[in-house]
Chains A and B, each alone.
With several copies, the nearest count.
Chain A
Amino acid sequence: MGVNTLLRTTIGTLELKNPVTVASGTFGCGREFAQFFDLSILGAVSVKGITLEPRKGNPPPRLHETPMGLLNSIGLQNPGVEHFIREEIPFLRRYDTKIIANINGNTIEEYRELSSILNREDVDAIELNVSCPNVKEGGMVFGTDKEMLRRAVRAVRSVVTKCLIVKLSPNVTSIADMARICQEEGADAISLVNTFSGMAIDVQSGRPVFHLVGAGMSGPAIKPLALKKVYDVYQAVEVPILGMGGISSGDDAVEFLLAGSSAIAVGTAMFSNPLLPVEILRYLKSFTRAKKMGVEHITGLAHRGGFS
């Protein structure tokens, strides 16, 4: 892809050649999707959630389809940060795209240690995931309790000099309050939303489908809810937003920009259409050209009267 200034955008200190990124956990570390398209077309890749030590993950079943939604309970299965540094960074560096390391922990200490390790490595940004609903300890607690969130962001900020993105949970009364805390504690950007807390029950057995009962819901079903969260956060804070949640078309991506996202991430919808990022990028190219307006001007335009 040649340089297209209309598509340029920044999330905090991270400059992206275009606003199309992929959501953590839906894209592995890119190897699988690299079979379908050149990862260099992407503005950034947010990799599968990393933890300090390898994680086994949750027992199956881990997936359940719902009307236009997906419940998952992966439980952060991953081979740990050492493996990520050794195997995945070099792989991703072969492509012209930014690397966002999605970090997860059970304790503040773990978050701090993991982020200080990654801060020394060749990644472009650190995405502090305080919103994983699929682990027993830690995880979403940091994203739903204001004091915990503050402590987590503060601890990580104190060791991270790279771009720090905090990924918020949508499962709160006021996501604006959570975003303000992130801003106060010096986060460079906010990504939202992570999955919504949901569940399913098998009517024949009468028992919850998932071992941990709850699971995280993603996909087009949640798009209107996620969009509202982005809109609310844009109104509350100055830090830029990496918006996601159910994006499955170019129009969806534009909606997220208009609501206030500086960049967007595609997730669940790639499972059925692996070429979706390519299609969205193509759409944004023609959309920005038709509107004669760059992504940075479209960001948040719904708050300023729209196109006119």
Chain B
Amino acid sequence: MQCVTSKILSVCDLGEEYYRIILERPENMVFSPGQFVSVMDQNSPDLLRRPFSVASQTQREILLLIKEVGKMTKRLRKSSPGDCLSVMGPLGKGFDTSGQNKALLIGGGVGIAPLLGLSQELDAQGRDYLCLLGFRDECEPAKLFKKTNLRIHRETKEPGFVTDLLKEVLQEGVEVFACGPLPMLKAVRSMCMEAGVPSQLSLEEKMACGIGACIGCAVPVKNNSGTVYKKVCSDGPVFRGEELAWE
């Protein structure tokens, strides 16, 4: 893990809410699907870095898929090729892709980001999978995914949620990978537990250090003596649905 300066190669809008940034990949920074970086720009009025999943990587580049929600995500969108960012990474533990079963990838909104790299990894492994991506309205970012194995749900077009798609295809013998808003993740988790299907959920929590030092990004996890708090940044961001002690 390192903290280095990296150049922005391109910034490109994906509709109104979303955009993607391509960064020069810092040497020796290799990401597995689900891992993230924590970034900061030098002129920033923010005290803390901001975590973003590495949506995909090539030899020389990493791609971030970003939703504009606040100060930093607004500023980043306005940055120009050649601008520099401080990038810390690779952070966290990504998805466990050692399974063999058919994979169901379910993502909501910008939560589809880590699923992009995951789908590419599964492609490389030749493992069977299906992507279910849900959006409120715009679904430009879905175009980054391979058209085969893809189903899209738009709340403004169809009634219901992306989890309704999951309901249709959920069956024994699959493995579920999910990332998205908390209510979606909670629903996915319950559905999987009911169906007896293993799930891996990528969580979000406010972060300060991003490396496991401050214990600020707590998520309740079951252990034999009850629940304990684990760290989203370093124990996660990916957790097994069964181990989470939500509610």
* Most chain B C-beta atoms within 10 Å of own C-beta, residue among A59, A67, A272: A272
A63 touches B207 (CB 8 A): yes
Residue of A nearest to B208 (CB): A271
Residues of chain A within 8 A of B3, CB atoms compared: 36, 274-275
Is A57 engaged at the interface, CB distance under 8 Å to the other chain? yes
Shortest C-beta distance, B220 to chain A (Å), equals 7
The listed residue (B2, B208, B220) touching A72 by CB distance below 8 A is: B208
B47 touches A63 (CB 8 A): no
Shortest C-beta distance, A43 to chain B (Å), equals 19
A271 touches B214 (CB 8 A): yes
Bitwise, A74-90 to B at CB < 8 A (1) or not (0) is: 10010000000000000
A272 touches B49 (CB 8 A): yes
B88 touches A70 (CB 8 A): no
A74 touches B216 (CB 8 A): yes
A24-32, A144-152, A189-197: which lies at the interface: A24-32
A219 touches B218 (CB 8 A): no
The listed residue (A35, A57, A62, A72) touching B211 by CB distance below 8 A is: A35
Is B131 engaged at the interface, CB distance under 8 Å to the other chain? no
Residues of chain A within 8 A of B228, CB atoms compared: 56
Residues of chain A within 8 A of B220, CB atoms compared: 59-60
Q: A35-B1, A70-B48 are in contact. Are A272 and B216 (CB under 8 A)?
A: no
Shortest C-beta distance, B198 to chain A (Å), equals 24
Residues of chain A within 8 A of B88, CB atoms compared: 274
Query: A-B contact count, CB below 8 Å?
Result: 96
Is A220 engaged at the interface, CB distance under 8 Å to the other chain? yes
Chain A contact patch, size range: 35 or more
Chain B contact patch, size range: 20 to 34
B215 touches A74 (CB 8 A): yes
Shortest C-beta distance, A103 to chain B (Å), equals 17
A32 touches B209 (CB 8 A): yes
Residues in B198-215 with C-beta less than 8 Å from chain A: 205-215
Is B219 engaged at the interface, CB distance under 8 Å to the other chain? yes
Is B46 engaged at the interface, CB distance under 8 Å to the other chain? yes
A65 touches B218 (CB 8 A): no
Residues of chain B within 8 A of A33, CB atoms compared: 211, 213
B218 touches A26 (CB 8 A): no
* Most chain A C-beta atoms within 10 Å of own C-beta, residue among B206, B217, B227: B206
B47 touches A57 (CB 8 A): no
Residues of chain B within 8 A of A221, CB atoms compared: 47
A75 to B241, CA, bound (A): 26
B48 touches A60 (CB 8 A): no
A65 to B71, CA, bound (A): 12
Is B161 engaged at the interface, CB distance under 8 Å to the other chain? no
Residue of A nearest to B211 (CB): A32
Residue of A nearest to B232 (CB): A60
Is B40 engaged at the interface, CB distance under 8 Å to the other chain? yes
Shortest C-beta distance, A253 to chain B (Å), equals 18
Is A69 engaged at the interface, CB distance under 8 Å to the other chain? yes
Residues of chain B within 8 A of A36, CB atoms compared: 2-3
Is A162 engaged at the interface, CB distance under 8 Å to the other chain? no
Residues of chain B within 8 A of A56, CB atoms compared: 227-229
A60 touches B47 (CB 8 A): no
Shortest C-beta distance, B10 to chain A (Å), equals 25
Residues of chain B within 8 A of A35, CB atoms compared: 1, 211
Residues of chain B within 8 A of A269, CB atoms compared: 47
Residues of chain B within 8 A of A74, CB atoms compared: 214-216
A67 to B47, CA, bound (A): 8
Is A61 engaged at the interface, CB distance under 8 Å to the other chain? yes
A271 touches B1 (CB 8 A): no
Residues of chain B within 8 A of A97, CB atoms compared: none
Is A299 engaged at the interface, CB distance under 8 Å to the other chain? no
Residues of chain A within 8 A of B213, CB atoms compared: 26-28, 32-33
A271 touches B49 (CB 8 A): yes
Bitwise, B20-64 to A at CB < 8 A (1) or not (0) is: 000000000000000000001000011111000000000000000
B47 touches A272 (CB 8 A): yes
A35 to B214, CA, bound (A): 15
List 5 A–B pairs whose Cβ atoms lie within 8 Å, in order of A's numbering: A26-B213, A35-B211, A70-B48, A271-B208, A272-B48
- Chain A residues proximal to chain B, CB less than 8 Å: 25-28, 31-33, 35-36, 48, 56-65, 67-70, 72, 74, 77, 219-221, 268-272, 274-275
- Chain B residues proximal to chain A, CB less than 8 Å: 1-3, 40, 45-49, 88, 205-220, 227-229, 234
Q: A31-B212, A271-B210, A274-B3 given; name 4 further pairs at CB < 8 Å.
A: A32-B212, A35-B211, A60-B206, A268-B47
7 pairs of A and B residues whose beta carbons are closest in the complex: A28-B213, A63-B216, A32-B213, A32-B211, A63-B206, A60-B218, A271-B209
